[in-house]
A = this chain, B = another copy of it.
Amino acid sequence: MCQLLGMNCNTPTDVVFSFTGFAERGGRTDHHGDGWGIAFFEGHGLRHFVDHQSACESPVAELIRRYPIKSRNVISHIRKATQGVVALENCHPFVRELWGRYWVFAHNGDLKDFHPRLHAAFRPVGSTDSERAFCWIMQELAKSHAGVPTVEELSITLRELAQRIARHGTFNFLLSNGQALWAHASTLLHYVERRHPFTQAQLADEDLSVDFSSLTTPDDRVAVVVTTPLTTNEAWTAFAPGELKVFVDGALSAY
């Protein structure tokens, strides 16, 4: 099993604090040492980093911890290989382009018997069940809508597609197109919303705390979604099994 981290904000925010705790699970405080990856949207653009070294040892992860890349939508993943060999092409998150936007996807779980029919447009490069599921989602989205739909319309389609895939196994995933962060839980996912008044947060995986009130303005809103809570003193909410939640501008959306 792997671990997921997502962040959605109303203003570009760096993920250094959350990633520092999360990356510790890539080989040090947990056993997810088979590669990792992170993707940051910057407007329509995307920075995408993957490495098959463990997140706690990778020089690229070290860069992420030191270089505060500001983004409104971030997805990260640390991998414990269950299907597919340890290779760069099997590191999440995966990226595809659809309707002139980048789409980023990361998955935690197993979908052993999911072998959908994939047409020409989206094909897996690696050998994971996760990338296969992502390609199928992209294919079905492309069939369902002629251009970029609204977040509300996308959420309806994604909820239906997620249910169909989740019948085949464990399907905790994060997806973003830079406008919103979609998060689906089969078994395990938590989120927290940070907003004014901001307080101090204490990482669970490293002896590190941050006083968000000194780094934020009263208008800032940040939602963080993660496999298991990153901090010890914030109110994390567990997803119910089968739930797909949508985060827009740093807050849980009603869609």
A residues adjacent to B (C-beta < 8 A)? 42-52, 59-60, 63, 66-67, 87-91, 95-102, 120-126, 142
Contacts and interface: CB of A to CB of B under 8 A. Distances in A.
A103 to B, nearest CB: 10
Contact of A125 (B67, B87, B100): B100
A126 B88 contact: no
A48 B45 contact: no
Contacts of A50: 45, 47
Contact of A46 (B42, B43, B67, B88): B88
A216 to B, nearest CB: 24
A-B complex: 5 closest residue pairs judged by Cβ atoms:
A45-B88, A45-B89, A100-B123, A44-B89, A42-B88
A90 to B, nearest CB: 8
Given A95-B95, A142-B120, A125 B60 contact: no
